[in-house]
Amino acid sequence: MVHDSPERPTPPLPQPRRPAKSDLPQDDRALQTGDVDPESSAADEDDEARLPDTEDAVEAVAEGTLAIGHTAIENAVRLAPTSPGVYRMLNAVNDVLYVGKAKNVKKRLSSYARANAPLPARILRMIAATTQVEIISTTTETEALLLEANLIKQLRPRFNVQLRDDKSFPYILITGDHWAPQILKHRGAQSRPGRYFGPFASAGAVNRTITALQRAFLIRSCTDGFFESRTRPCLLYQIKRCSGPCTHEIDFPGYSELVREATEFLSGRSHAVKELLAAEMEKASGELEFETAALYRDRLAALSAIQSQQGINPRTVEEADVFAIHQDGGYSCVEVFFFRTGQNWGNRAYFPKAEKTFTPEEVLSSFLAQFYDDKPPPKLILLSHEIEESGLLADALSVKAGYKVEVSVPKRGEKKELVGHALTNAREALGRKLADTATQSRLLEAMVTTLGLPHAPKRIEVYDNSHIQGTNAVGAMIVAGPDGFMKNQYRKFNIKSEGLTPGDDYGMMREVLERRFKRLLKPPEDGTAKAKGNDKADDDSFPQWPDLVIIDGGRGQLNAVGEIFQTLGLTQVSLMAVAKGPERDAGRETLFMPDREAIKLEPRDPVLYFIQRLRDEAHRFVIGSHRKLRKKDIREAGLQEIPGIGPSRKRALLHHFGTLKEIERASIADLGKVPGVSAESARKIFEFFHAQPG
């Protein structure tokens, strides 16, 4: 978000030149990606813009192409302001190549316009592809920095450092809109009343902490609807993970005290809370109330478990984010540690996309501005490297947050130790990344020999369908490449054809493939044809056209898909079907390819194992998509869809379990305990919720 300055509001962000995702068909939005490789060509049709990093870089660029770029920039310089602002360089098809900011825009653009300036090859490629420059003036350089970070994340220019995997962080929320507050995991806008604690590095860290806090403080985690419908305590009360406020097993003052203790623990006063619990345990033990003493003992053990999982808990750092960067093998890894209320709430490794010529300081500087674009900064940010504009970044984040933010590189003491620990983790994470990438590359090369492919595939697409007797039919595509699974390119297809026979797998696959490839086959809006197999996604290093398509099935499915490919004119894409072994045994699969004998690989062949992983990932993704559809239908249709369940039994089930989700979780034995539900009805209800999709 760009914050308004006191003098003049920041101008609204202009729309990106490439089509917005919301303008695309729903099924095509998943194909939009943002991870770009600055080392790829500056323009798809201009190979002359590709340059090695050599002293002769200027000569390697076609003089006419560089001249066009210099002319476009010179034209922009004439009208450029001498005040702060943000500039965008665009190519001939209006794709944004680069977003930059400057204290003096005119001066900065002039440095690009000089024909004989000793610029890096990366900058020369950018200039060669530039045909126009757009400028946005800002009141201050701080505004320019915030706007630049926002536009980079929005437009994802190929010549900027790209922050990848920028998912929102989870928080712990103790609600404030109910007399018995609930503890839960929360993502997104913090609009619900209550206390938020975080960010945590992962959902797993939040879940583990909430589970331990339930054991320690017995705070409810159920929804308000479930809470209000209870007439007897639920299972969590029985296993001592809830104090049972729903049925008044604990009174309001007692529950409020538990909530206060939990809030204090999460606010950093964990030592005081543990001392209080220890005193209560000793008191109960002295009064021979051993059951009460055991309860306090278990609560203390739960709190100790939380802190033991956190690893480092600093003594002198109350609130800080620690960033450390390590570079090797052309990759950069930024490791981030989160410390709040004197506790370590986890860490996460990022691998921003950046050209090899970027220094660690340049990558870290750009990374930080984008990282805090949509999340609040802490009061202290510790870095492993000095960045050029640390003061400007601190000012910008202070304006954004509404309180003073300090950015520093510690030289001694505990803060330096924290940075050193983060740097060690960054080095190890990048080592694992490089090893995984090398392994993946070897597997892709091995597929060439094993399967007789023309070259190592850069993009593999795997397709699968899922349904139950034709209902809630959904198809899915997963994508893999040299960097592993490309989850930002996964795509699901809700089957729409009305004329399909229920369970017609061939018909469903035909619809999925036609919808997938017709968009790629359609010429671009400007009328210029795209060569099949050379089309690029937003990430120039990763093709949008697959080299290999894998489907789940045997020779019949292969022939059916082959006919679809012939109809669509897809002759450059390799095709393979994977048939399950006898009794679905892993390692005994048969591989089918057009015009070839069936292939049987050894059970321990790495290529076979790789293909199994691809197939299993597609199966996992499509089953998850199918279950979401099915649960939505169940919520909309209600329990009447279950044979033999009428209004009376529905009321009895909801009265007993509270919510449809709890009914779905229940075992046959639990369902049979509901008044009016026979053993046979319990079996039907259980099978309805647990039927396996095809």
123-127, 145-149, 284-288, 585-589: range with lowest mean pLDDT: 585-589
**690 Cβ neighbours under 8 A, 6+ residues apart:** none
Q: What is the mean pLDDT of residues 307-317?
A: 58
The one-letter amino acid code at 595 reads D
What CA dihedral angle connects 328, 332, 333 and 336, to 10 degrees? 140
CATH code, residues 638-690: 1.10.150.20
Beta-bridge partners for 340:
343
Each residue's pLDDT tens digit, 218-269: 889 888 888 888 888 888 888 888 989 999 888 898 899 888 888 877 776 6
pLDDT score recorded for residue 630? 61
CA-based torsion, 270, 272, 277, 281: positive or negative: positive
Domain 460-629 and domain 638-690 have a common topology: no
Taking only Cα atoms into account, the Rg of the chain, rounded to an integer number of angstroms, comes to: 30
pLDDT score recorded for residue 296? 67
**621 Cβ neighbours under 8 A, 6+ residues apart:** 464, 476, 478, 490, 492
The yes or no reply on domain 460-629 and CATH 3.30.420.340 is yes
- SS3 assignment, position 459: coil
Backbone angles phi, psi at 304, to 5 degrees: -65, -35
pLDDT score recorded for residue 34? 35
Q: What is the mean pLDDT of residues 19-47?
A: 35
**Domain range annotation of the chain:** 21-155, 171-309, 320-433, 460-629, 638-690
267-281, 500-514, 572-586, 660-674: range with lowest mean pLDDT: 267-281
pLDDT score recorded for residue 467? 56
Half-sphere exposure of 464 (CA within 13 A, CB side): 24
Looking up tokens 């209000």, which residue turns up?
A: 228
Distance, in Å, from the CA atom of 144 to the CA atom of 136, rounded to the nearest integer, reads 9
Residue 377 has pLDDT above 50, yes or no: yes
Mean of the per-residue pLDDT values of the chain:
76
Distances (CA, A) of 63 to 60, 125, 128, 272, 647: 9, 12, 9, 72, 80
Closest by Cα among 380, 303, 387, 395 to 337 = 380
Pick the CATH number of 21-155 from 3.40.1440.10, 3.90.25.10, 3.30.300.30, 1.10.357.10: 3.40.1440.10
457: cis peptide before it, omega within 30°?
Answer: no
Distance, in Å, from the CA atom of 120 to the CA atom of 130, rounded to the nearest integer, reads 16
The yes or no reply on domain 320-433 and CATH 3.30.420 is yes
pTM for the full model?
A: 0.60
